[in-house]
Amino acid sequence: MHTIWKGSISFGLVNIPVRMYAATDEKQVSFRHLHRPCKTPIRYTRTCPTCNKEVSWDEVVKGYEYADGRFVLMEKEELESILPDNRRSIEILDFVDLKEIDPIYFDRSYFLGPGDTGERAYALLREAIESTGKIGVAQLTIRSKQSLAVVRSYRRSLVMETIFYPDEVRNADRVPGLPEETELPEKELEMARQLIGNLSTSFDPEKYKDRYRESLEAIIEKKIRGEEIVEAPETRPEKVVDLMEALKASLEATQPKGKGKRKKKSGG
């Protein structure tokens, strides 16, 4: 794995050298934009519409738009002057229970591996976190941004996941059309609970596949080989308008095999 950051984890007076690695690898098919007549990739250039010319990086400066068309300029030195001093440290501030953090806060995941001479202290923190069932809430500076994060154990490693600050999570009450407290028919509610029960199982990530990406890769491979692409007929699920009928049909479709049907008694 490629090291993307080197620093340390600190909690209390304990300092543990670590290396950071990307924990996830997003799988997607990437396309280039081509000029159709000649199949040449299109270039995108930095241009100034006022000066009507291409702009080099040494002429670029960051600006914050505080009003329409009005900017305050921020020089590189000014931005660096306010970065925290501990920019090479993942500072654990508190330990909490994982269930206390709603999944909406989670952003990106990174593996943390031990740095030079840090194996023993790394193992100590990993085992302590594992045995207490706690996760560490930490702050660090990465890519010129002070981030909030959690550190937890994952199999034989430590994982750091950046999380959003509270003011970065939008208020759910702003979602339009949210229903007020609704008195629901008990029969419908019971059937919905039963449907959830029928669909409940242990989480097995291997069973979930990106069918669209697989189909796209298959089409690309066929085009490379010069094969003809045949479109499959579009299939749409039957639309069920009535909520009760939709629940009944769903329950029948998800009923475990061998259940739900009574055997007829033999006559005589």
Q: What is the pLDDT of residues 33-70, one digit of tens each?
A: 999 999 999 998 999 999 999 999 999 999 999 999 99
The Cα 147–Cα 158 span in angstroms is 18
Whether 234 contacts 177, CB under 8 Å: no
The dihedral formed by the CA atoms of 91, 96, 98 and 99, expressed in degrees to the nearest 10: -150
The pLDDT tens digits of the residues spanning 9-33 come to: 998 888 999 999 999 998 889 999 9
Q: Do the domain assignments include residue 138?
A: yes
Q: What is the CATH number of the domain that holds 157?
A: 2.40.290.10
Q: What is the pLDDT of residues 61-81, one digit of tens each?
A: 999 999 999 999 999 888 888
Residue 94 sits in the same domain as residue 118: yes
Q: Which amino acid is at 65?
A: E
The values of phi and psi at residue 8, to 5°, are -155, 160
Specify the 3-state DSSP secondary structure of 255: coil
Determine the Cα–Cα distance for residues 83 and 143; give it in Å rounded to an integer. 11
Please determine, for residue 262, whether its predicted confidence score (pLDDT) is greater than 50: no
At residue 89, φ and ψ (nearest 5 deg) are -135, 135
Tell me whether residue 217 is in a domain: no
**Structure pTM?**
0.77
Q: What is the pLDDT of residue 145?
A: 82
Q: Are residues 64 and 154 in the same domain?
A: no
Give the model's pLDDT for residue 241: 63
- Domain membership of residue 121 (yes or no) is yes
pLDDT band, residue 112 (cuts 50/70/90): very high
Contact 252, 198 (CB under 8 A): no
Residue 263: pLDDT band (50, 70, 90) is very low
Residues in the chain: 268
Beta strands in the chain (DSSP E): 5-11, 14-22, 34-35, 40-41, 47-48, 53-54, 62-67, 70-74, 89-97, 106-114, 134-142, 145-154, 157-163
Into how many domains does the chain fold? 2
Given 152, 168, 184, which residue is the final one in a domain? Answer: 168
Low-confidence winner among 181-185, 231-235, 258-262 (lowest mean pLDDT): 258-262
Q: Given this model, what pLDDT does residue 232 score? A: 62
Are 126 and 153 found together in one domain? yes
Residues 102 and 116 grouped into a single domain: yes
Q: Which domain holds residue 112?
A: 3-25+84-168
Of 81, 104, 126, which marks where a domain is finished? 81
Give the pairing type, strands 5-11 and 89-97: parallel
